[in-house]
Structure 1
Amino acid sequence: MWLIGARGSVATTAVVGCAAVAAGLQPATGMVTETAPFADSGLPALGDLVFGGHDTATTPLPKRAEALAAEGVLPYGLPDAVRAELTAADDAIRPGGPQPGDTRGDEALIDAFAHDLDAFRRNHDLARVVVVNVASTEPVPTDGDRLPPSSLYACAALRAGCPYVNFTPSTGLHHPRLHAEAARSGLPYAGRDGKTGQTLLRSVLAPMFAQRALPVRAWSGTNLLGGGDGAALADPAAATAKNAGKARVLADTLGELPDGDLHIDNVPALGDWKTAWDHVAFDGFLGSRMVLQTIWQGCDSALAAPLVLDLARLTARAHETGLTGPLTELGFYFKDPDGGPSGLADQYAALTGFAARLRERS
């Protein structure tokens, strides 16, 4: 696994979690690929995964893990128990970019990132490398002459022959200049924007209203979060990119986007924890006015990390079996998937069907 944003909270939690579950120190809670429908599907074992990545941050993974444990994100003492795995992963992290003052053009940056991927695969004698973007959300690109950072990394993955997963709402492979290159690559890819909390709940509730013929008049929401995501999403342009995926779930399921706004507020004191509120106004029989309100409180990286591991294993197996193009069956994991159904139950059916398909190829 090559993680873009490799020293962030999600990446750190994924590395710690993979090592802890592989060693039997912790259960595989939240990992869908460790449930019965995925048995014998030929997925790579957790103990066989090797980690590296790109990041502009310099705090070593062991130190980042200690900070997450101090915040209650990771169990006390677990970073020490998997320190060797954290150190090995940190040793494989390379400088990301472009950093301030970097005068290299897009092609030079893409070549440098692709070279890092080739060296990682060669140095560890790996069968394949799956690139997963877990970096902070970037604004919607406005400079038509330059690719945004997420697209530079995505293009580098294609050139290095690596399957690609975009767990963020950033542009990645969705940039129009990369469509043809993605099609030519013959690689599987999936995305975008991991569905971990509020939108996960929306993808369950929206089909309920549609199937019970209950018109939704308005659907409003608020997110309070801190950490790197909170700081990144304080930028209105980045928040707009994030909210687009949340809105798509409602529009696709209900047929149109209901009235109502979605707010994202940066609360640094929350750290890696977040709270999400939803207020749904809907009509009942004979026009009776009704309301549903929900509160979701959770730890974002602990919600995301098992999904990141799932996606890497599924995409690696898809690559091994020769599958190419967008993996629509992985829509279960995304707010803004590359096709497929929008309701969570239908997405889960597609995912388990994909597991059976992989099993047949074993």
Structure 2
Amino acid sequence: MTPTDARTGVWLIGARGSVATTTVAGCAAIAAGLHPPTGIVTAAPAFADVAWPPLSSLVFGGHDPTDRTLPGKAAELAAAGVLPHDLPAAVARELAEADREVRPGGPSTGDTRTDDELIASFAADIASFATRHDLPRVVVVNVATTEPAAHPDDPRLPPSSLYAAAALRAGCPYVNFTPSTGLRSPALASLAADSGLPHAGRDGKTGQTLLRAVLAPMFSQRALTVRAWSGTNLLGGGDGAALSDPAAAAAKNAGKARVLTDTLGHAPQGEVHIDDVPALGDWKTAWDHVAFEGFLGTRMVLQTIWQGCDSALAAPLVLDLVRLVARAHQAGLSGPLPDLGFYFKDPDGGPGGLAEQFAALSAFVARLRTSG
């Protein structure tokens, strides 16, 4: 890659949220040598010899309707222990530069613009960003708060689909890291097919579902019958508030259930419950209770507890996906990228088990290593 090609734009939908702020701050910290690239798979030794866009060359911008700032949000995250306490000051310049590239987006309350007018406006923001910074490509990543599932009879596109359509109209690869509709709207099927652009997945696989993707194959491979698999999530922050809406929670839980169905071959009894606990902020506790049956019908139970920070789990995956999709775009690939299922609860096809998904990712990286 030439120095010009190495500069890659990253346009974040939800650019002043926890995941976006952690991504920008973390990228700057790693590029400056302040922290190691822990959690970034594309920085692992097996993948390090690919011509990925260097983290130091990523240029950030995005859409966010809030009036908070990235430096302010970073300070909040540091106070909550999500970011190291001294990091916001150490990367203040990079946070401020990214914040200056954030546009309000929409639609806001009372916005009378049509869907096409909104898409055109969002696409113009992205195109202007690319022009100002002389970027050969911009990867658009949705890390906004989960929206309720779209109603099939709604004449308007949901916000996530407006942004997805804007990404393609601006000629940009697209990644949906949320459970929101995004490119999965039937109204965008022809646009996605005709765009000639790569796009990836829906709903990043960061915590409870990652653990399920590891454990479910164990039961199948050992011929143990899973009778029920129930779970509970306690979380706060913006996601906790958004997921207190039953419609938004249903969109989120669909991906969690899909992993079990795809791996076990059936949907076991049990549900996932999501409780908003504002005091937890960006931290989350997830319990799973697995009732299974073994030899001679012996009934047994496995219980797990996952305590983690969603932003810290998600940010390195966002950086991975930016690098992977940017490299795929440079290599001339287009359409859905099922080989990136390792990162998603709801991938674009491909194998279901995490080990098989990692093998597919490794094969995909091998292709990227020698193409473009």
Coarse TM-score class (shorter-chain normalised): over 0.9
1:173 aligned partner, one-letter code: L
In structure 1, list runs of 5 or more residues that go unmatched.
none
Out of 103, 112, 116, the position equivalent to 1:103 is 112
Whether the 8 Å CA contact 1:10–1:302 is kept in 2: the answer is: yes
1:160 paired to 2:170: yes
Does the Cα contact within 8 Å between 1:169 and 1:193 map onto a contact in 2?
A: yes
- Pair 1:75 & 2:94 matched: no
Structure 2 match to 1:296 = 306
Deviation of 1:211 after TM superposition, in Å, equals 0.5
Greater CA deviation, 351-360 or 1-10? Answer: 351-360
- Distance in structure 1 (CA, Å) of the matches to 2:252 and 2:352: 17
- The one of 333, 346, 349 equivalent to 1:339 is 349
> TM-score of the superposition, structure 2-length normalised?
0.97
Residue aligning to 1:26: 35
Deviations 1:1-44 (A, max 9, x none): 00000000000000000000001001111100100121222110
On the 8 A contact 1:37/1:355 being kept in 2, the answer is no
Alignment match, 1:287: 297
Q: How does 1:1-362 map to 2 (within 5 A)?
A: 1-142=10-151, 144-361=154-371
Amino acid at match of 1:211: Q
1:194-238, Cα deviation, whole Å (9 max, x unpaired): 000000000000000000000000000000000000000000000
Give the Cα separation in 1 of the matches to 2:351 and 2:82: 32
1:57 and 1:32 mapped to 2: Cα distance? 31
| Cα offsets for 1:137-189 (capped at 9, x unmatched) | 00011252000000000000010000000000000000000011000000000
Q: Aligned pairs, how many?
A: 362
**Which runs of 4 or more aligned residues in structure 1 lie more than 6 Å from their structure 2 counterparts after TM superposition?**
none
In the alignment, the residues of structure 2 paired with residue 144 and residue 177 of structure 1 have an alpha-carbon distance, to the nearest angstrom, of 11
Unaligned runs of 5+ in 2: 1-9
Q: Give the Cα separation in 2 of the matches to 1:234 and 1:14.
A: 25
State how far apart, in whole Å, the 1-side matches of 2:18 and 2:214 are: 27
Paired residue secondary structure (1:265):
strand
* Contact 1:22–1:46 under 8 Å retained in 2: yes
SS in 1 for 2:223: coil
Alpha-carbon contact 1:16-1:79 (below 8 Å) kept? yes
Q: Report the residue type matching 1:16 in the other structure.
A: A
What do you get for the CA RMSD once the two structures are aligned? 0.6
C-alpha distance in 1 between matches for 2:264 and 2:35: 39
Name the amino acid aligned to 1:46: L
What displacement does 1:123 show? 0.3
Amino acid at match of 1:18: C
Write the distance in 2 (CA, Å) between the matches of 1:261 and 1:119.
Answer: 45
Distance in 1 of aligned mates of 2:154 and 2:239:
25
8 Å contact from structure 1 (residues 65, 74) kept in 2: yes
